[in-house]
Amino acid sequence: MPRQIDFAGKSGTVYRYTILEEDRALPPAGANYVIAKLEDRQAEIVFAGQTDNLSAGAWKAKFEEARTKHGATDILMRLNVRSTIRQQEQDDLIEAHHPPMNGGGKKPAKDAGEEQPQA
């Protein structure tokens, strides 16, 4: 599987994401991330999220849930400092891919610097 994967949003914009390596030090910067199931050169987005601080690791609980419930294998990230850009990108990906942990495409609610699905 390549180290970088492109995901197209509903708008047609293509976003290049980098697979997070377990031993990599993460920057304390804003980022979009996707939790995905990568198999046979295919990538299925299970959850699309964002955070104000990637190094804080608030995405780890979502990753564990995605692994258990949906067979997710990897987290991929894309640095985005501006929150408005992160939100637009997240919405674009959710609308295109309908990740199950984002309510199958429903707009998520913001919680603790992370985007979470609505109940």
Q: What is the pLDDT of residues 15-57, one digit of tens each?
A: 999 999 877 889 899 999 999 999 988 899 999 999 999 999 9
d(CA 8, CA 31): 17
Mode of pairing for the β-strands spanning 74-79 and 14-19:
antiparallel
Beta strands in 29-117 (DSSP E): 31-39, 42-51, 74-79, 109-111, 114-116
Q: What is the pLDDT of residues 66-118, one digit of tens each?
A: 999 999 999 999 999 899 999 999 999 999 999 999 997 555 444 334 444 43
DSSP H helical ranges for 34-100: 60-70, 83-97
**pTM (2 d.p.):** 0.83
